[in-house]
Chain A
């Protein structure tokens, strides 16, 4: 007998009682993996599609259990006033032995594989709150459009349940993906970072031509749209850039709201946990 395998994807967080990513009380699902590589990225653990290990020194009790179980000798306790575990990234194979043994959960996987049905189970836990608040589900990331089958599947299941859906995206994707997915989306929250194409490429790794194309397509589609500009000092947070984006958006449709998002001060600690340099500093 043939059984269709259920689509699964990679996520790095599910946040309930999410109240700032769309109307009402929502559940935000963070999908891992992003085609852009913004140097300021708020959630660096969401950029890559692989699952690796990260480490939170703040809650580590330096018991060394992880060091003892690592089959690849990738871990070492550095003794100091504030002792910490050093991960030799070249040796680490992400076996997860350290994750399973760590008593405080200081060692964690950066993400997990989940089936659509598993995501839906989490989403359904707060159905009552969506109903009274006019809330629902927001897919965010990472870049949710980077896992199109997974995102499309989740959104389709949400719509079957009459749950309001939102997506937070850069719109960096194939038009076909966008077309397919937009059917089941009620609200697009679009992160517009930099207007100038060269600057965009410099800071995010990709040009914004396809983003603009896709934006024009969505702006005409009649979907609810909210544009957000993350304020990164001297990069996006310039009068020139803000004016250019707002002008561009409102030329297409002046009813589209544009809001600014302050920089997330938590980000730096996330880089530290991943053991990668924080370029913005």
Chain B
């Protein structure tokens, strides 16, 4: 296919460079506007305040166009500026504003006048009035009491994690949606008036916002200095003018329209993970039409997509210092899905799927998060091309498995038509498109911590604090089933507490952060006149992450085998060792690690121990309904939270030291504990009940770049992907290991035991190589990367 030969244009190279070299600032421009609007309108309903604040921001915010840009628009004048929306919460920024420019991870510069304005005008006004303040006031103590076991999320920012109905946005445009909403307003009951009026305010403002770009581009085009970029600016002007009045009719207009949608969503709610979803599907009609009419060719199309990909990196998500350490590099979760199936179950891969893969090859930036949907009828050529792009080493595309995911979504209550049309939000969270408020990061539940409490009378082994009920300690349990009973009761206790906290959080969200613009692009909000936060979406789910199946399996396997089956270890000896963090007892720790098989090595009885407890957890969740009347469902992913979650857990029976990371990913084995290669890992992961994890799962695997260096080896990798599609696993992503990683592996072999590498005519475990050979390979890999 000729797509292979497409090259990056100078313009894209230049835009990409500017993106990477821009200095990041904190922007308080929108916070100022919102504060002003709220001050002026204190008496009116919150939803109208929110609508007016967004409208005013869209009208006033300084806009900038880089004359080279094909796709324009941002929520701030600077590229990659950090934004804070005051109504969600300001406490962290109040404490950290002075250290923001100097913090080690993800620093942001601040202009002195902005800092002053924030401290004197913005923060004082909002004190006590924000979502965060309200949550802490109404339920803070309860949330804090379980914090080491359950991390309740979305406490100081808006809930994102949603795929808007991009298809409708492209079909109607803001102007078309405005007409629809006006009609609804005319015939609605009194109690829906505020909602529809708010939507109308935001849609009108959206048209104006887009028009402002048209005017600016036209002005710039008319300026003497425009030079050779005059033509581009004229085109930008035409595109924006049209989009302010009608839906897009060309590929370029459609791409631009998509970007405006996400800019405005981010201006309404500064939240993580508004995801574009199946871009190769909804852009395809425009692409096909333009190709037919000769308006574009593949060269032009890839440049437009490249420009759009760069744009996805212009909005970043400002986090507090603590959070930035664990979500380093401000991931914001513009997840784009390609491939998959159409509503009849036929393969939906099209030319745009390949062009989007090629755009990833060209751009190689952190966003978008590109996901390839594979299934048993995916074309070989597509799987091969995915392998090739994975081999570049950006970790993308990640691979998801239709044949595992669609039934899981259906069992969460999603219709077949919606399930087969799924996309992903953020990292790996599963979602339908444009009709689900999935609230997919409601909470993270630390099953390993609960096991610790079960072994230790409900007491934290780190602080000694009583956290759960006293169900006994390891020495009290006469047999394994007694331990399991106690574990059940502890899990039940914390699930109960967690549900109450989640309800409290959602309740306050409804009060503070109704989102009329988002509601305009989520079915059935407009139809029934209910805001998305209040349950207006067709589907209302809440996702709870169960953490971490590998450690639970490994810990229970050690207890079962050494204590209850072989009786080679005394209960009290293990308990003492755990309480003392294995101090002075390294042989026992090593025994726990090496004398009992571990999850990830295709040992059914061990894998099943993990599977049993996540099953228990998922079924328990199913007994509850969330605040919007929808279901709670389970996710098996942590992204990078396995590090902070691990900090909360004392030494564990699997030989893990206190406060060190848990297994990564979600269904990945504990680092360094899988020793039989990728097929064994996949087989173990197959025993985890992904069918119950409709919120998504995450599996990380590492490969060396050399595995992708020639077609022969890449072919074997492609075969592995093809087998993956036949397994009941939702997701896998491949870390193509770099030399940096190898240097770490050399220094910390314990954590990299499973890392295999190509040495000469064969593959070996890296950590078993002599140090000088390791150095040699590190050098070789570095070499491989420079081309």
Chain B residues positioned under 8 Å from A264 (CB to CB)? 759-760, 762
**Which listed residue, A20, A63, A129, A131, touches B679 by the CB 8 Å rule?**
A129
**Which listed residue, A17, A103, A126, touches B590 by the CB 8 Å rule?**
A103
Is A276 interfacial (CB-CB < 8 Å)?
no
**Which listed residue, B587, B722, B760, B764, touches A65 by the CB 8 Å rule?**
B587
Say whether A103 contacts B587, CB under 8 Å. Answer: yes
Tell me the bound Cα distance from A19 to B713 in angstroms.
8
Distance of B758 from chain A, by nearest CB (Å): 8
**Which listed residue, B595, B716, B727, B768, touches A24 by the CB 8 Å rule?**
B716
Interface residues in chain A, defined as those with a beta carbon under 8 Å from any beta carbon in chain B: 15-20, 24-25, 58, 61, 63, 65, 103-105, 125-126, 128-129, 131-135, 228, 259, 261-266, 268-269
Apart from A17-B679, A61-B586, A125-B683, 4 more pairs, CB < 8 Å: A63-B587, A103-B591, A132-B723, A264-B760
Tell me the bound Cα distance from A65 to B676 in angstroms.
27
In chain B between 576 and 630, which residues have their CB closer than 8 angstroms to a CB of chain A? Answer: 586-591, 593-595, 602
Tell me the bound Cα distance from A126 to B686 in angstroms.
13
A-B contacts, 14 of them at CB < 8 A, read A16-B676, A16-B680, A17-B680, A19-B763, A63-B586, A103-B587, A103-B588, A125-B683, A132-B719, A133-B723, A261-B760, A263-B760, A265-B773, A266-B769
B713 (CB) vs chain A CBs: closest residue: A19
In chain B between 526 and 571, which residues have their CB closer than 8 angstroms to a CB of chain A? Answer: none
Tell me the bound Cα distance from A103 to B594 in angstroms.
6
Chain A residues positioned under 8 Å from B680 (CB to CB)? 16-17, 125
Distance of A17 from chain B, by nearest CB (Å): 4
Per the CB 8 Å criterion, the residue count for chain B at the interface is: 35
Interface residues in chain B, defined as those with a beta carbon under 8 Å from any beta carbon in chain A: 586-591, 593-595, 602, 676-680, 683, 713, 716, 719-720, 722-723, 726-727, 756, 759-764, 768-770, 773
B680 (CB) vs chain A CBs: closest residue: A16
Asked whether A125 and B679 contact (CB < 8 A) given A65-B587, A265-B769, the answer is: yes
Chain B residues positioned under 8 Å from A132 (CB to CB)? 719, 722-723, 726
Tell me the bound Cα distance from A14 to B112 in angstroms.
65
Say whether B595 contacts A17, CB under 8 Å. Answer: no
Distance of A18 from chain B, by nearest CB (Å): 8
Say whether A24 contacts B677, CB under 8 Å. Answer: no
**Which listed residue, B676, B726, B761, B768, touches A262 by the CB 8 Å rule?**
B761
Tell me the bound Cα distance from A109 to B80 in angstroms.
58
Chain A residues positioned under 8 Å from B719 (CB to CB)? 24-25, 129, 132-135
Chain B residues positioned under 8 Å from A128 (CB to CB)? 723, 726-727
Chain A residues positioned under 8 Å from B586 (CB to CB)? 61, 63, 103
B601 (CB) vs chain A CBs: closest residue: A16
Say whether A266 contacts B761, CB under 8 Å. Answer: no
B592 (CB) vs chain A CBs: closest residue: A103
Say whether B716 contacts A133, CB under 8 Å. Answer: yes
Distance of A193 from chain B, by nearest CB (Å): 15
A19 (CB) vs chain B CBs: closest residue: B716
B717 (CB) vs chain A CBs: closest residue: A19
B721 (CB) vs chain A CBs: closest residue: A132
Tell me the bound Cα distance from A7 to B769 in angstroms.
35
Chain A residues positioned under 8 Å from B716 (CB to CB)? 19, 24-25, 133
B586 (CB) vs chain A CBs: closest residue: A61
Chain A residues positioned under 8 Å from B588 (CB to CB)? 103
Which 5 A-B pairs have CB atoms at the shortest separation, nearest pair first?
Answer: A133-B719, A262-B760, A103-B590, A17-B677, A261-B761
